[in-house]
Structure 1
């Protein structure tokens, strides 16, 4: 057998393990209008080999669902719960044992749980070496938002964060539709007073009705706004918003619907794609190809994953959206890293995590 033939011999899954993690947040992170103070999820580990080599890979699977820090249910994000994913994975793992790694793609295609489909397809990509050679310096758009322990008029605190941005930062993402319109308008102008050359990506999370969205946008310098994500509570109003104010807008939450099909609309300039909420890498690529054909930008964004998931998203973004900087600036609030160190004092390793299920040759 030639070296090329040996390299092409399919890898067989010889050991899989499923672990659960929970990481406390130093500061609650916004999820729409709610906040979370803890992030939980799963780590799926796999070893695969053939006659000449062995590969190991780990992926984070963390649907964005559950309860916020006040006990309210998160809605509009992952439709599946962590328990749903755990149950389905526990069933799948024995069926994957001693199978080709391509079986991961079969299960990813069959799964109705987007986070699981993404995780399985990502695990296949890692084992197949498709993420190799894409270890790049982290790229992200800084996220600006008011911490919930700051006063409503927290312009000065946020301004300090803006002033500390590196000189090579050309754009930031700003959470809006969280507080009073006057405070948020003041905040936008204060950011631009400090860094006039910044371009702003506003994220409303469907927080405005049509009239509020128009009133808010009318008070802002359009030339400084790249786009506003999901400006209206009713997505059907987004085109009317654009016709009134001509501010480019983007879709985010709308993509999470299992029935979503890309349709070009007036003013639509970008899709904010959260892979954990959408599905397999193949599904992501199809969506990106369709949107790109219509001149719509595609920007990968986090679903508040821990460091293992963020590193994977950074690598994936460099492969499927190489011309766009992803929105992955959410790790600062995490008290610990997960498997992949970003320099925090504590990094949870696989051995530190509770084992939920496993398979092996023995």
Structure 2
């Protein structure tokens, strides 16, 4: 249960209170399958995800946490400096095939310079996913995305200003787009919109049942699902990997956020490489919050 500051409207205290209230309604239940899922929809998203994930793992045998294909991310702290991006690119693994680049934080000219640098530095097989965080007009999106060959861009995530219409996207750009915040704010969004390639879903911000519903809707519309992490611990990242196997998600996932964690909780991170040296905090070392019931 890990609400993401700045994105989740709820905090950890609110989530805990909501869970305590919900669990008290089923205080007589002796086993997890006797705890009714009714009423979960009223819980904050992070609390709802935690309970749904707990029930899923308790009631069903999930696939093991296998290595997932990750879309790497350039360090956001270096987005304003071309030299910084150059150094970051030099340190990326040689087998890099998918790279996420934050754009829209600076001027259109700076974004164009950044993309051209990346285009020149990385092999032609590396696909770029641009994340604009709703920073551009359609014309600005056309300028930036048109600065490098369209085939290098896998998609651009949330390119247009909030409330913008995507109806004319394919008339201006050859690259596809993806929705993230849009589907959380507008659940009725038309997934058949021309140019839409993928839905980027953060289960911690939507809940697990809602994530599965989007997966089914996206599959019917022949749109890709990309799971995106909200800086959760290794335990949840491994759960996401198990869900990728369960749901047969084969594309590059946005789960490469564990660099921010200095330690692993209880066990190592099994679904991603590069974190073998991080210390493991045992259960006895974790802070115990007491029984909730």
Question: What TM-score range do you get, normalising by the shorter chain?
Answer: 0.7 to 0.9
Q: What is the CA distance between 1:80 and its match in structure 2?
A: 2.0
Pair member with larger Rg: 1
1:90 counterpart = 2:23: no
Q: What is the CA distance between 1:354 and its match in structure 2?
A: 3.0
Q: Is the 8 A contact 2:266 2:280 kept in 1?
A: yes
Q: Give the equivalent residue in structure 2 for 1:63.
A: 3
1:205 counterpart = 2:205: no
Q: Indicate how the Cα distance of structure 1 residues 232 and 85 shifts in structure 2: closer, same or farther if over 3 A, else same.
A: same
Q: Give the equivalent residue in structure 1 for 2:158.
A: 230
Q: Give the equivalent residue in structure 1 for 2:216.
A: 289
Q: Is the 8 A contact 1:269 1:297 kept in 2?
A: yes
Q: What is the CA distance between 1:87 and its match in structure 2?
A: 0.6
- Per the alignment, in what secondary structure is the counterpart of residue 200 of structure 2? strand
1:268 counterpart = 2:206: no
Report the TM-score when normalising by structure 2.
0.86
Q: What is the CA distance between 1:229 and its match in structure 2?
A: 0.5
Inter-partner Cα distance in structure 2 for 1:117 and 1:107 = 11
Q: Is the 8 A contact 2:198 2:224 kept in 1?
A: yes
Q: Is the 8 A contact 2:198 2:223 kept in 1?
A: yes
Inter-partner Cα distance in structure 2 for 1:313 and 1:220 = 33
Q: Is the 8 A contact 2:29 2:35 kept in 1?
A: no
CA RMSD of aligned residues (A): 2.4
Inter-partner Cα distance in structure 2 for 1:211 and 1:104 = 52
| 1:354 aligns with one of 272, 278, 287 | 287
Q: Is the 8 A contact 2:99 2:126 kept in 1?
A: yes
**Structure 1: unaligned runs, 5 residues or longer:** 1-60, 66-73
Q: Give the equivalent residue in structure 1 for 2:112.
A: 185
Q: Give the equivalent residue in structure 2 for 1:125.
A: 56
Q: Indicate how the Cα distance of structure 1 residues 294 and 352 shifts in structure 2: closer, same or farther if over 3 A, else same.
A: same
- Mean CA deviation greater in 102-111 or 205-214: 102-111
Inter-partner Cα distance in structure 1 for 2:73 and 2:36 = 33
- Mean CA deviation greater in 170-179 or 99-108: 99-108
- Per the alignment, in what secondary structure is the counterpart of residue 117 of structure 1? helix
Inter-partner Cα distance in structure 2 for 1:88 and 1:338 = 24
| Larger strand fraction of residues | 1
State how 1:194-343 maps to structure 2 within 5 Å.
194-195=121-122, 196-257=124-185, 259-263=186-190, 264-280=192-208, 282-342=209-269, 343=276
Q: Indicate how the Cα distance of structure 1 residues 88 and 210 shifts in structure 2: closer, same or farther if over 3 A, else same.
A: same
Question: 1:41-81 deviations in whole A, cap 9, x for unaligned?
Answer: xxxxxxxxxxxxxxxxxxxx11113xxxxxxxx2xx22222
- Mean CA deviation greater in 165-174 or 336-345: 336-345
Q: Give the equivalent residue in structure 2 for 1:15.
A: none
Inter-partner Cα distance in structure 2 for 1:341 and 1:171 = 25
Inter-partner Cα distance in structure 1 for 2:129 and 2:262 = 26
Q: What is the CA distance between 1:93 and its match in structure 2?
A: 3.8
Q: Indicate how the Cα distance of structure 1 residues 339 and 179 shifts in structure 2: closer, same or farther if over 3 A, else same.
A: farther
Inter-partner Cα distance in structure 1 for 2:28 and 2:282 = 24
Inter-partner Cα distance in structure 2 for 1:220 and 1:321 = 32
Q: Indicate how the Cα distance of structure 1 residues 78 and 359 shifts in structure 2: closer, same or farther if over 3 A, else same.
A: closer
Inter-partner Cα distance in structure 2 for 1:237 and 1:220 = 24
